[in-house]
Structure 1
């Protein structure tokens, strides 16, 4: 690829890609982390830690997706507007500084889910090297472990706005409340968590193997999340399901079928 700008969020996929690009291209690989209210501070910390450990050429920029009406309205196309904001900035940076490509950390497992952000990637001619190499999530984790990337087993962590149901506007206040709620849950030892934001209700999703731990802390969780402004706190008995807020889209699609 000769030179590349990597969209580096602090998850295992983009961390592996950033480390691999650095090994192959040195200073002609630039890992870029975009800061916005939708990026959890923990993820930024992970990105900076790995960048320091591997000596990555790392830069932080600020994106402003909350100024895009389509993003704030939170339709099922929200991710398209978010990624359009990101890729607009990365493409401009790559052009200004003569990088040949912009790349993201998508893997083949990402191709089977509803991901309008991939449309934005295609429109900006973004490369997905791990998709091109035929790597799924398990292979990404195995490669990251082999390279000594400490995030190799980090649970998937979509942006915070993915916790807000479609049709509910995205605000800085709601994003901060979601981040604070998930920080509380992780500080109690829960690894895979989502704090789904339903106005005054926080619906917590955790991995099936962590249900008992969450329930054991129910009094503290309830108290502390109510201090954040929630009136009701629930534990979803279905457990953690990536993209669970897309269920409404699947139900609507089923209803339309003859």
Structure 2
């Protein structure tokens, strides 16, 4: 069994209302920066190696955090700055929606801000729409989840076919694939917005220089600090609003839970293209190979939606299965995969050679550098 060197951790229990606590583990060096960024009441209990009393911090209130998010959403939306509702038709606040926790929270916030507005005839205005880009990188499970979450929120969901798979820069997957993908997505959202404007009475120039349609995404504070997220460049090009850009992931999750979103505890699951190593072409065949393999691994290991797992496609058609720290260091999961003849099964899906099993790391194949440590070959 492979074990990595351990850093002392602090176990943080986030308590919201009277429900069960969420448990997070954070390295001491990043505790203050990462774990205390969410506005929730916390109880600190130290690991055995870090003795000390329980300390309560009641200064941060989740209700206040949600109120702040609603205020920010209102300020950057089409209902901000005193704009009157007679210039809006349906769908002028468009959320780039994936069904993930970040875009789901934004969809909920945008809907809450825009619900209740009526036109001069007294009819209800539904000026919030979630737009789901449908392409080869959207897995079937994520597609299903997106529809379920949108229905739970009660927001209109529009599905649009995106054309990133026709872009040479996207297919090449040499560092700018996300930029090309998001560019196609925001172009499609703009098209939806233009259609919505023709159905209403928009101000073509926007009031105070603001466009009649506002696009939103789920970019959070942690995303803005990640140099690999080149899709943020596309968001800047299209002036996409990011209500969560001052909120860290922990705060996003806490707010989503407070608002009752069904996916608040789901592990992050970016598009299938993110599983491809630098230079591995983003073709439909490769993406389908990854999707089938991940479905197999999740089924064999009986992993719940809150558990992180990836099947990465490396150079030469090889596969790397990444498990979260608990599963990897326990070792039992690797044994289960070996008994399930992991390499043989993934080879049937189109991969080649022996499969590497290693610890999960966000963005592990985003750069050219190869990850060698914490790896193990599964039969």
Partner of 2:309: 193
Is 1:241 equivalent to 2:353 in the alignment? no
2: distance between equivalents of 1:250 and 1:121?
29
Partner of 1:254: none
Query: Structure 1 residues 55, 233: CA separation in 2 closer, same or farther (over 3 Å shift)?
Result: farther
2: distance between equivalents of 1:156 and 1:135?
16
What does 1:96-111 correspond to in 2, within 5 Å?
96-98=195-197, 100-111=213-224
Deviations along 1:36-85, whole A, 9 cap, x unmatched? 01011111111111112222111111101110111011111111101000
2: distance between equivalents of 1:68 and 1:79?
11
SS, match of residue 217 in structure 1: helix
TM-score (norm 2): 0.63
**C-alpha root-mean-square deviation of aligned residues, in Å?**
1.8
Is 1:208 equivalent to 2:325 in the alignment? yes
Deviations along 1:92-112, whole A, 9 cap, x unmatched? 211221262000000000011
Is 1:83 equivalent to 2:83 in the alignment? no
Partner of 2:46: none
Gaps of 5+ in 1: 252-258
Q: CA deviation at 1:249?
A: 5.9
Partner of 2:235: 121
Partner of 2:105: 16
Q: CA deviation at 1:162?
A: 1.2
User: Which of the residues 115, 136, 142 maps onto 2:248?
Assistant: 136
Partner of 2:162: 63
User: Which of the residues 339, 343, 349 maps onto 1:228?
Assistant: 349
Q: CA deviation at 1:186?
A: 1.6
Partner of 2:60: none
Q: CA deviation at 1:223?
A: 3.5
Q: Which has the larger radius of gyration?
A: 2
2: distance between equivalents of 1:156 and 1:233?
27
CA contact (8 A) 2:100 2:268 kept: yes
2: distance between equivalents of 1:78 and 1:54?
30
Q: Which moved more, 1:4-13 or 1:157-166?
A: 157-166
TM-score (norm 1): 0.91
Partner of 1:30: 129
2: distance between equivalents of 1:250 and 1:232?
17
Q: Point out the structure with the larger helix share.
A: 1
Q: What is the count of residue pairs matched by the alignment?
A: 248
2: distance between equivalents of 1:234 and 1:169?
19
Q: CA deviation at 1:228?
A: 1.0
1: distance between equivalents of 2:335 and 2:370?
33
SS, match of residue 175 in structure 2: coil
Query: Structure 1 residues 54, 157: CA separation in 2 closer, same or farther (over 3 Å shift)?
Result: same
Q: CA deviation at 1:250?
A: 10
SS, match of residue 366 in structure 2: helix
CA contact (8 A) 2:98 2:142 kept: yes
Partner of 2:96: 7
